[in-house]
Amino acid sequence: MSLAFSHPWARAANKEGIGGGYFAVTNNGAEGDRLIGASSPAAESVELHAIRVKGPAITMALIERGIVVPHGQTITLKPRGYHLLMKGLKAPLQKGAKVPVTLVFEKAGSLPLDLVVEEPGPVGNEVPI
């Protein structure tokens, strides 16, 4: 497979039934690809989102065209950046549990990935990969 994943994790769910999913993806293929969607049996829906920080303002936006993963590069989904937004969680995400997700790429197709649930922490926390 030309896509390699590292440190797949999820933030323990907040009380609104929303969770975040994060990982790094490296494209070792000869051409770029694009993450265009995701799903999980643990949530009603999974959306691709980005957070933009401009001064004191933080906004979150749905990424409708997907996330480009150029060949030979690594893209990291992390707090305060690109991330998976899991909405309508069917059960709280508990530390240490695994959350199965299916990532959908334009060229690589559907790929399964398990996210390991970690402590929620503040949104701006740096998380090493």
CA angle 33, 106, 52 (to 5 degrees): 65
Domain annotation for the chain: domains and CATH numbers: 3-117 (2.60.40.1890)
pLDDT of 126 strictly over 50:
no
* Residue 99 to residues 19, 38, 44, 74, Cα–Cα distance (Å): 10, 12, 13, 22
Write down the pTM of the prediction.
Answer: 0.87
User: What mean pLDDT, rounded, does the chain reach?
Assistant: 89
DSSP 8-state assignment for residue 57: E
The model's pLDDT over 20-58, given as tens digits with 9 standing for 90+, comes to 999 999 999 999 999 999 999 999 999 999 987 777 878
pLDDT of 119 strictly over 90:
no
